[in-house]
Amino acid sequence: DHFIHLLDQFLTLHRKQIDAALAPFLLSLETLREVKNKMRTELEYGLRRETQASATVKMLPTYVCGTPDGTEKGKFLALDLGGTNFRVLLVKIRSGRRRSVQMYNKIFAIPLEIMQGTGEELFDHIVQCIADFLEYMGIKGARLPLGFTFSFPCRQASIDKGTLVGWTKGFKATDCEGEDVVDMLREAIRRRNEFDLDIVAVVNDTVGTMMTCGYEDPNCEIGLIAGTGSNVCYMEDMKNIEIVEGNEGKMCINTEWGAFGDNGCIDNIRTKYDKEVDEGSLNPGKQRYEKMTSGMYLGEIVRQILIDLTKQGLLFRGQISESLRKRGIFETKFLSQIESDRLALLQVRRILQQLGLDSTCEDSIIVKEVCGAVSKRAAQLCGAGLAAIVEKKRENRGVERLQITVGVDGTLYKLHPHFSRVLQETVKELAPQCDVTFMLSEDGSGKGAALITAVAKRLHNIDKYLYAMRLSDETLIDVMARFRREMKNGLSRDFNPTAAVKMLPTFVRSIPDGSEKGDFIALDLGGSYFRILRVKVSHEKKQTVQMESEIYNTPEDIMHGSGTRLFDHVAECLGDFMEKQQIKDKKLPVGFTFSFPCRQSKLDEGILITWTKRFKASGVEGADVVRLLNRAIKKRGDYDADIMAVVNDTVGTMMTCGFDDQRCEVGLIIGTGTNACYMEEMRHIDLVEGDEGRMCINTEWGAFGDDGSLEDIRTEFDREIDRGSLNPGKQLFEKMVSGLYMGELVRLILVKMAKEGLLFEGRITPELLTKGKFETKHVSAIEKSKEGLNKAKEILTRLGVEPSHEDCIAVQHVCTIVSFRSANLVASTLGAILNQLRDNKGVGRLRTTVGVDGSLYKMHPQYARRLHKTTRRLVPDSEVRFLLSESGSGKGAAMVTAVAYRLKSQPWAGQPVMPLCCLLAASPRVLPQGPS
């Protein structure tokens, strides 16, 4: 009792001094929140192209884009270099229901003289260790895929290339920084000339940890190392990684957060002890956050505090022993031992005595307090950093509450009695909307390296099917140049007969000028649904448009029957509409949107060249569709109609948008089919008389490539689609990009991948083998950012497949590649039109509007954004506004008719036809009917 009383007196007497020394280590919730926010800011800087070079948290892309799905199998070699011990592993992965991972490993020491010698010596030593292991396992002759866990900051350009940014953790081997460590390893293997290895992936230990835990829990998307060093990786959305091309899917980012604070942003919480540890390190001024949180430095921080307290006479009788002066004497493992709740003061004293520190019970109490303050701060700081990342993940997913797993490895987390608890409590407090599960990596990052190698092999096998669909900007620019040549051929009288892209004159000469008025009927035929509209254009205070419409079904037997039946059906629907509108007794002007390639010699004539989009009605190709419709109306005899204009849906879209924006001079359809029109200079149109003014050209670009000009970028799946279509060899561009074919393209790829065992564990269902079962609307649903994977599971389940989480990711990846290719190709052809417009106007920078319609553009969640972005990248000297046609091409047909009707009502209408140049001079915005 007397001893305890004296002890209390001693501690009470010196409490102020002890508290003052440890006060900077006590972090308030407000301070931790500030650290979290600063970390979040630094994460964003590291991801942005313009700030990444100067960012301290480098956010290094790893090119690891997937996690294990259970289909990985085979033998793999893994290397694990990250400290004084180097591990070589043979990993056997078995897939299927009895999936398992077997590992055989051997640990080799890396002597200090090798760690701080030359790079050649280091990698020769590594290869010597590999040779010993291969010999030991009896597999020296096998050429195995190898994954290299290299736990130092590397900048990667691909998964098998890693340029060392800077050594950490006591390594200082020369001639390595700025070099590709994979090349150095390959060179060392060649020098030895005893064996060969297929080095597939170089990864950080955090990534290996995440992959190891991800094998057990697909929800694991964060990897944390809390050991000798400190670092985190996580799966980031590609759209947020500006330093890597591409916007789709995810990629693992190695944050290298150990350098957080190197720019001074956390100097307010660094203590004099942190500064002393930093100044005495191998890399002063670098890795400041790591030096406050990792096992390599915590013992040294404690030693600095003990020296300070000893100088104040509070420890070891005021005597600084030789042992205490020795850097590194107080290892972090001693913190873990001293802080154990089960350890009595006598045992703490015994540990101190082993370190050559002659201590008393009072000393033991104070040392225990110091260790507790240092390790608690480390855990809290790690928790603050981790909270920033889980909050970012929650925002990425756009959910109110996030459930996520963090894979963790490292001696500090595993062995310290309180570190993991404090870390978890801090994350919970700072990220209250995130339910975080911490999963300990039992097998280390070596297993993770093998799994990454297996996933990389699997993704390589998947990507070999998709590689041809990934089009570089160089290829897209080349396609743009090819289409420009096709446009020129189509406009030429000499080359048009053999040109694939027909460049059809429409005899539409201008967009609405605001003076149109009247009551019009518009017909819109272009798919399985046929729409009829009544459009009233009036002028009171301002020009207004009122529309009423009715949609009618076009049954497949009519689409594939005779032309007579088809136009009788159209006439019947028109009669029904006029009856409902009570206008059967009126002869209203009619505009006919007919969304198939037609050759025109005047505005109210359209000779069908060929059917597209599943239509096959006989006796129509080569005939005037206006005449066929007039004949069907006359045969009925119960109403009359004045069909004044036949237009393509692209022209209708341009005219609709032109009503709102008179800069609109391009119409674009991206839906069931695809096409574009634009306003061309008359002097370039050999097919029509006259050189003055402009005329809208219907490109009919769906046939681009029918002459073989796209063979080098068409894939086996495009050819299979074409062979199974109603019009083999025709509309090849349309079959690569439009909504009618996109879902089927995805289905064919999935079937091929399943047959190869890359998806659905090789299972193929009758539904998956059925043509048309995978629709383009499914592609749109699967690519939704928040619920896409759930939609994938739902859709695949309906197709009889029981997909794994990774199957769903792979299917989403396939959908993305197919739809991205479509948007890129459309951007190329649109870019050719924009360049033509710019050259026609002779301006350095084109300002124009593109009117757009079509279900793919409207309904696909990513398509419009991709198209806009690629177009602006391919044609940087154009300022393009994309204007969505809200009212469809039917309104545009009515606008064309209104302009034609206005022209017909001019005072000189009915007089002998003036030469075209005089007509244009009289009214620069007129839309003539052509010779009658």
d(CA 15, CA 9): 10
DSSP state of 562: B
CA distances in angstroms from 454 to 206, 216, 438, listed in the order given: 17, 15, 24
Torsion angle of the four alpha carbons 782, 783, 786, 790, in this order, in degrees rounded to the nearest 10: 20
N-term to C-term CA, the chain: 122
Q: Which of 558, 570, 531 is nearest to 618 (CA)?
A: 558
Residue tagged active-site, from 649, 706, 807, 853: 649
In degrees rounded to 5, what are phi and psi of residue 495? -100, -15
Residue tagged active-site, from 595, 725, 780, 828: 595
DSSP state of 674: E
The token pair at 619 is 């006796």
Q: Which amino acid is at 19?
A: D
Q: Is 649 a catalytic residue?
A: yes
Q: Which of 308, 302, 358, 357 is nearest to 331 (CA)?
A: 302
Cα three-residue angle 677-857-472, rounded to 5 degrees: 85
d(CA 806, CA 66): 8
Question: Does the CA dihedral 726-729-730-734 come out positive or negative?
Answer: positive
Question: Within a 10 A sphere around the Cβ of 713, how many other Cβ atoms?
Answer: 19
Chain position carrying tokens 């969505």: 884
DSSP per residue over 181-227, as a string?
HHHHHHHHHHHH-S---EEEEEE-HHHHHHHHHHHH-TTEEEEEEES
Q: Is 595 a catalytic residue?
A: yes
Q: Is 853 a catalytic residue?
A: no
Q: Which of 678, 643, 685, 680 is nearest to 657 (CA)?
A: 678
Cα three-residue angle 361-366-368, rounded to 5 degrees: 95
Q: Which of 807, 805, 781, 809 is nearest to 795 (CA)?
A: 781
Chain position carrying tokens 């440890």: 22
Query: Treating both helix axes as pointing N-terminal to C-terminal, what angle do 805-841 and 863-874 enclose, rounded to 10 degrees?
Result: 40
Contacts of 38 (CB under 8 A, 6+ apart): 260, 265, 266
Contacts of 347 (CB under 8 A, 6+ apart): none
In degrees rounded to 5, what are phi and psi of residue 911? -80, 165
Residue tagged active-site, from 531, 534, 747, 902: 531
The token pair at 466 is 């998709």
- Residues with a known catalytic role: 531, 595, 649
